[in-house]
Amino acid sequence: MTHIEKYRSRLMTAGQAVEGLNSGAHIAMGMATAEPPALLGALAETVTKADIDDVKLWYFHSMDHAGETVLQPDLLGRIRPRCMFLSAIERQLLGAQEPGTKSPIEFVPVAFSDSPRLFEKEVPLDMFVTTVSPMDRHGWFTFGTSNDYSTAAARSAKKLVVEVNPNMPRVFGASLLHISEVDAIVEHCAPLAEVHAPEMSPEEATVAATIADMIDDRACLQMGIGALPGAVCALLQDRRDLGIHTELMTPALAGLIQCGAVTNQAKTTYRGRSVFTFAMGDRPFYDFLDDNPAMHSAPVNIVNDPRHIAKNRNVVSVNATLQIDLGGACNSEHLMGRQYSGSGGQLDFVRGATASKGGKSIIACQSTAGNGTISRIVPRLDGPVTTPRNDTNIVVTEYGFADLKGKSLNQRAEALIGLAHPKFRNDLANSL
């Protein structure tokens, strides 16, 4: 059979593609902008009509398509989310939970970099559903914006179902999927979910300026999500020969490529190419990714491997946290007694950047939360340790920065108290 014949033989409706789903099945879905809306809708409908129960749904970072289908409140119980990174969808579901009742979301602690191994060795996946870019004349799709764990899940699942969306960019790198690997195909044209940076506070602008001053020509960048990393990138447009090796590709990083600040010529690995594992942004950003040979998508176990990150020189990793204790340990995932997000790839890049020759790992936050009523610098963390104190390098708030490497616990406490809001400093000092 030709590639086109194979394609046509696998083409079907979304309902047909998810037929055979049984109670107790393990399903994984593509994350973020790779959520397949038609397939998720068909899964929700199938579970409802067939009275299927106890379907385990594995994923990182859900968005609206999942919230409107498989993560509807009235389906929880029949569909049991095995979520590895909470987003606004899960936080809303948990917020509506009745006191004393069992959580509708089962959070699975795992490093983002370890999620491919989870699907390859630990989770017996019955089905993987995801969005892909259209097939080329040689029979190849790409995973588009979401490589992450998708390459592992796609090849580990008993059944692979893809939703072909012409709006999904065709992305270069280790992102190829051949028609011979696919069991079922659904065609569905829908806009990709768009993410826009939130408004930035004056405190975040100050933090961004402090961080930007630490980034020199030829640095290799990893930036997280949100207003702060975008503000840092906006201040780097006069730099030369920057590189990108990042978990998340964003419009802010793309802007540095477009203005010429990023050339990737000083990198050791993937010289001349910007490396990432998943991408979120707006429509012009997705158009920029499409068919762009300067972009290199790779699985998260490669992109987030600290040993691989450290092969590049002058890696600068910028990540946010929710709390820092006076020893330097960071809680970046737990808030007000509940899981808020997940560990993601923070620790991977903290360790990779620190091990890089000339590298810097930067943990940033505003000094307060709750409209200034809560200090983010605390005597003891309220949640789990995302980045251990042994690994924390540079901490930045609107009151400056502190390099914790080589400092004793007393020296660390003194430095971090100096980064706290002045109205909390006496209480912090008295807690020692």
Distance CA 123, CA 40 (A): 20
Distance CA 234, CA 256 (A): 8
Distance CA 264, CA 140 (A): 27
Which of these, 132, 136, 135, 196, lies nearest to 167 by C-alpha position? 132
Q: Catalytic annotation on 35?
A: no
Q: What angle do CA 92, 94, 95 make, to 5 degrees?
A: 60
The radius of gyration of the chain's CA atoms, rounded to the nearest angstrom, is: 22
Distance CA 193, CA 218 (A): 33
Rounded to the nearest 10°, the torsion over CA 257, 260, 265, 269 is -10
Give the containing element (helix H, strand E) for 115.
helix 115-117
Which of these, 419, 421, 414, lies nearest to 431 by C-alpha position? 414
Tokens 């790198």 belong to residue: 173
Given 247, 333, 398, 414, the catalytic residue: 247
Contact criterion met (CB below 8 Å) for 169 and 290: yes
Rounded to the nearest 10°, the torsion over CA 336, 339, 344, 348 is 70
DSSP structure string for 203-270: HHHHHHHHHHTT--TT-EEEE-SSHHHHHHHHT-TT--SBEEB-SEE-HHHHHHHHTTSB--TT-SSS
Q: What angle do CA 142, 148, 153 make, to 5 degrees?
A: 80
Residues known to be catalytic: 247
